[in-house]
Amino acid sequence: MLTAAARRVQAPLLAADAGELPFRDEAFDVTIAVTVCEFTASPAAVVAELARVTRPGGRVVIGALNRRSPWGLARRRQLRRPPWQAARFLTRRQLRALGARHGQVKLHGTLVMPGTVPGSQRAGCFHEAIGRRACPAARAFQVLTVEKAAC
């Protein structure tokens, strides 16, 4: 992944364990982890570490996939094969609980439709808007935002 990232950015890159980040406390305004918690032994340790390196008043953003969504159900066979068979998908309740330990949480989601659906180019935004309101548990991609309290 570092090789792929190096082709896209002109910034220093670093490989590290998400549960033991090599940064000082409160070093960042925002920290982001996308589909990381699914592949770690301790999602709580990862979120705690992100919170540690995020300054008071900053944000921790966690992106996680929802196996129980139409996306997950449409890909249930694929999710039984590597690398997905090792993934541990978190429920909305679990995500909220992980974040609530570190600040005020908000949970949003998107991608209600399971893939390419005929007519989705035109109707996609409409379906997304309906799905967000009518069925929050059906969102394929969950975004948890933790606002760390300012000191």
DSSP state of 56: E
pLDDT at res. 57: 96
User: Which residue in 80, 84, 74, 86 sits closest to 115, CA to CA?
Assistant: 74
Q: What is the mean pLDDT of the segment spanning 77-93?
A: 87
Q: Beta strands 28-34 and 54-65: pairing type? A: parallel
Give burial (CB, 10 Å; 0-12/13-18/19+) of 29: exposed
Select from 2.40.160.40, 3.40.50.20, 3.40.50.1000, 3.40.50.150 the CATH code of 26-147. 3.40.50.150
Q: Quick one: pLDDT at residue 132?
A: 58
Residue extents of the structural domains in the chain: 26-147
pLDDT for the residue numbered 112: 56
What distance in Å separates the CA atoms of residue 35 and residue 84, rounded to the nearest whole number? 11
- For residue 33 the two structure tokens come to 């982890």
Question: What's the whole-model pTM score?
Answer: 0.79
In the prediction, which pLDDT does 119 show?
56
